[in-house]
């Protein structure tokens, strides 16, 4: 029995059921399929997605604890990983007991979490600046086209460009609305074909998508 439950095939059956319900409701309609579709998305998928976030968070904390417990981990790293777990647990307890609208929770969120997260996100601005000088060189025609289109859109995004020359807005918009549109459309259509082939491979158990 346990071998059957541990097999690869049973979860694939669940994928088949989910896909058939969704495709069936889309192509054939009917009350039964609509009800099945609603139950699948509204009840099952929403609840499982929310629990998946909890599991994902706990997996990160588990990894941090494992790193902290390892003997060969250096002291600083051990402290950092332990600090991560401590903060996660503390803020969870504060949030659940006092609520997210409490002054301490808001304080920690607005004055520590928010600026830290945003600052880490902005570090790349400086590296992009040095890359602009060192790496963004038009060594061949392809790189030249990439740079020219990037420059035109950069100039379009700069409000001052319309004061320098009105053509910057028009050219930048042309790059976005024609060149970028065509490229993105091709990528979209390609992604569509790729998604269908992925679905077929998953349904035929040719793709190891469930972490086997």
Partner 1 sequence: MDYATMLGETVTVLFIVMCYTYLIRETIAFRFVQATYVGLGIGHGLVMVWGYLTTKTIPAIMAGNVLLIFPFAMGLLLFGRLKKQYMWVYRYPLALLVGAGLGLQIMGMLKASLIDQVVSTMSVSLAPTLAGFNSVIILFFVIASMTYFLFTVRGHETSKVNPVLGNLMKAGQYVLMGAIGAGFAASFLGRLAVFMDVMERVVYFIPKLLGLM
Partner 2 sequence: MESDAKMSIIQKIGYRKMIYLLVLVATIVPMIYTVGLPVVVSKQTSDLYEFIEKLPPNSNVAIAFAAYAGMYPDAQAATRAGLVHLFRRPLNIVLWHNSPDGPMLLGGELKYVKMGSRIYGKDHVILPYVAASEATTSAMGTNIRGVFSVDSFGTPLDQIPLMKNINKATDFSLHIVMAAAGGNEEWAVRQWNIPHRVPIGAFTISIVYPALIPYWRTGAIVGMTNGVRGGAEYESLVGAPGPGLRRTDILSAVHLLYVGLIVVANMEMLKKKRSEK
Residues at the contact surface with partner 2, assessed by CB under 8 A? 26, 37-38, 41-43, 45-46, 49-50, 52-53, 100, 106, 109-110, 113-114, 117-118, 120-121, 125-126, 128-130, 132-134, 136-139, 147, 150-151, 154-155, 157-163, 169, 173, 176-177, 180-181, 184-185, 188
Q: Decide which of partner 2, partner 1, none touches 32; Cβ closer than 5 to 8 Å per partner kind.
A: none
Distance CA 12, CA 19 (A): 10
- Please pick, from the candidates 38, 66, 157, 166, the single residue that binds partner 1 as defined by CB under 8 A: 157
Instruction: Count CB neighbours of 165 within 10 A.
Output: 11
CB 15 within 8 A of CB 208: no
Look-up of token digits 């990528």: 187
Distance CA 200, CA 192 (A): 13
CB 3 within 8 A of CB 11: no
Distance CA 161, CA 164 (A): 5
Q: How near is the Cβ of 83 to partner 1 at its closest, in Å?
A: 5
Residue 40 touching partner 1 (CB under 8 A): yes
Distance CA 81, CA 61 (A): 8
Q: Decide which of partner 1, partner 2, none touches 137; Cβ closer than 5 to 8 Å per partner kind.
A: partner 2
Residue 204 touching partner 1 (CB under 8 A): no
Q: How near is the Cβ of 94 to partner 1 at its closest, in Å?
A: 8
């Amino acid at each position: 029995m346990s071998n059957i439950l541990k097999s690869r095939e049973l979860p694939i059956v669940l994928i088949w059921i989910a896909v058939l319900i969704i495709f069936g409701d889309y192509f054939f309609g009917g009350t039964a399929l609509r009800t099945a579709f609603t139950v699948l998305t509204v009840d099952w998928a929403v609840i499982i997605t929310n629990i998946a976030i909890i599991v994902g968070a706990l997996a990160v904390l588990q990894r941090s604890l494992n790193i902290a417990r390892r003997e060969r981990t250096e002291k600083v790293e051990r402290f950092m990983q332990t600090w991560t777990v401590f903060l996660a647990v503390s803020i969870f307890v504060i949030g659940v007991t006092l609520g997210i609208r409490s002054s301490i929770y808001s304080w920690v969120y607005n004055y520590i979490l928010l600026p830290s997260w945003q600052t880490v996100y902005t570090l790349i601005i400086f590296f992009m600046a040095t890359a602009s000088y060192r790496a963004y060189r038009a060594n061949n025609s392809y790189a030249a086209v990439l740079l020219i289109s990037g420059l035109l859109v950069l100039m379009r995004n700069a409000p001052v460009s319309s004061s320098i020359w009105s053509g910057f807005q028009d050219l930048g918009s042309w790059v976005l609305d024609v060149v970028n549109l065509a490229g993105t459309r091709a990528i979209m259509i390609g992604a569509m074909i790729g998604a269908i082939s992925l679905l077929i491979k998953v349904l035929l158990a040719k793709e190891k998508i469930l972490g086997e």
